[in-house]
Structure 1
Amino acid sequence: MMKSIVSILVLLLHIPMYQLTQADIIDELANYFKAGNAKEIGKEFAPSVELIIIDQEDVYNKAQAEQILKDFFIKNPPNKVTVIHRLNSSQNYRLGIFLLQTKTGKFRVTVTMKKNYNAFLISELRIDPDKE
């Protein structure tokens, strides 16, 4: 019993800490979108973010991007989020695609994250009306 516990601890010590804290970043983001929590999503933004929301597109700093996302959630209160695709096999890149159902309609959300030092940060966030 003690030998297996020691083996697990040794194994965990070989996993970089950022991988433990960001292991399920796509799922965390999906939960933040479901809650309409622009503040928590904003914590994951890179210093500058390419933000495309419906027909508005530009590069913004973290604070501006968070405010624009907050405004989107005010106009489109979320009901449900489904992760429809994820790419997490690259060491330097993550991608998540969500179906976001709101009180005003359905949207397809694409989140692109790039590795910045030891963490993945959102470099691009795209919200388009769902074409279904």
Structure 2
Amino acid sequence: MKRTFFLAFTLVWGLLLSMGAMAQGEAFGPVRSAIRSSSSHDLAQFFAPTVELSFDGDKQSYSATQAEFVMKDFFAKHSPASFDFIHYGGSNEGTPYAVGKYTGKDGAYRMFVKMKQVGGGLKIATIDFTKE
């Protein structure tokens, strides 16, 4: 009896976790497309009013408009050869994040994207690029 309960509990828990990961992955789908196409304009549609951008540890906060121009400059200098998110997660408070691998013509970067709730929807709060 205990074993059956444990197996059922494990199965239900695994399904709930996978559904949460899929939901988080779906939130990042349009972001992935914008990055793959190196479209700062499309990416900016998902920016929170203030976005923290970090390039190899140099962090700065920008308005959404300023962040769009910073990302446009980054994409121009480091156009993507490939990009994909490799891990999705969320904090205890429910803040979703994703870790990706961005390969540009000048090398590879580990990319961290964190979203937050803004006006009933998820918006990008942080983007962090770290050269590998």
Mark yes or no: TM-score above 0.5. yes
When you count helix as a share of all residues, which structure comes out higher? 2
Of 19, 28, 31, which residue of structure 1 is paired with 2:30? 28
Once superposed, which parts of structure 1, at least 4 consecutive aligned residues long, lie more than 6 Å away?
none
Of 53, 60, 63, which residue of structure 2 is paired with 1:61? 63
More off after superposition, 121-130 vs 50-59: 50-59
Equivalent-residue separation in structure 1 for 2:67 and 2:122 (angstroms): 17
Equivalent-residue separation in structure 2 for 1:43 and 1:53 (angstroms): 21
SS in 1 for 2:106: coil
The unaligned stretches of length 5 or more in structure 2 are 1-23
Aligned pairs, number: 109
Question: Is the CA contact 2:25–2:88 (under 8 Å) kept in the aligned structure 1?
Answer: no
Percent of aligned pairs sharing the same letter: 25
Structure 2 equivalent of residue 119 of structure 1: 121
Letter in 1 for 2:86: I
Structure 1 equivalent of residue 20 of structure 2: none
Per the normalisation by structure 1, the TM-score is: 0.74
Structure 1 equivalent of residue 81 of structure 2: 79
Note the aligned Cα RMSD (angstroms): 2.0
The unaligned stretches of length 5 or more in structure 1 are 1-21
Of 107, 128, 131, which residue of structure 2 is paired with 1:129? 131
Structure 2 equivalent of residue 8 of structure 1: none
TM-aligned CA deviation for residue 125 of structure 1: 0.8
